[in-house]
Copies of this chain bind each other. A is one copy, B any other.
Amino acid sequence: MSLPKVAVFRKEHFNAAHRLNNPHWSDEKNARVYGKCNNANYHGHNYDLIVQVNGHPDPETGYVIDMKVLSDLIKEHVTDRFDHKNLNLDTEEFRDLNPTAENIAIVIYHLLREKIDPQFELKIKLYETERNFVEYPAH
């Protein structure tokens, strides 16, 4: 019988600029829908990212996944890509996708999903500010 399932969490962060804008809308509609977040010159955030991996601890190591390995994966595939960047201008992922917190979490999920063993469930929590945050997938 296998050991029980455990969730492990690793917290990282990155700082980025972004703006919210739908190119299919008029400037007026963008300003009305997105308010201050539509500022043409961008604004920015310190994003706190929590990556959750659910799985069975390895009986030999006692680890679900080595946190150093998980941290390096996040660094290579997520934070090096987004840290100190303008999400709209400097990244492929958000050239045609609005960098809302919801969309950033979904993008990060897919970036990591293909790098993490399919036996593990994966969940992303992203804090845009201390008071606005998202989780994907929802439970």
Main secondary structure on A side of the interface with B? mixed
A135 engages B15 (CB within 8 Å): no
A45 engages B42 (CB within 8 Å): no
Number of identical protomers:
6
Closest-CB distance, A134 to chain B (whole angstroms): 5
Which partner residue on chain B sits nearest A134 by CB separation? Answer: B8
Seen from chain A, the residues whose Cβ lies within 8 Å of a Cβ on chain B are 3-13, 15-18, 20, 22, 24, 33, 35-37, 39, 41-46, 54-55, 57, 60-64, 66-68, 83-86, 89-90, 97-103, 105-106, 121, 129-139
Closest-CB distance, A98 to chain B (whole angstroms): 4
How many Å lie between the Cα of A42 and that of B41 in the bound state? 9
A41 engages B85 (CB within 8 Å): yes
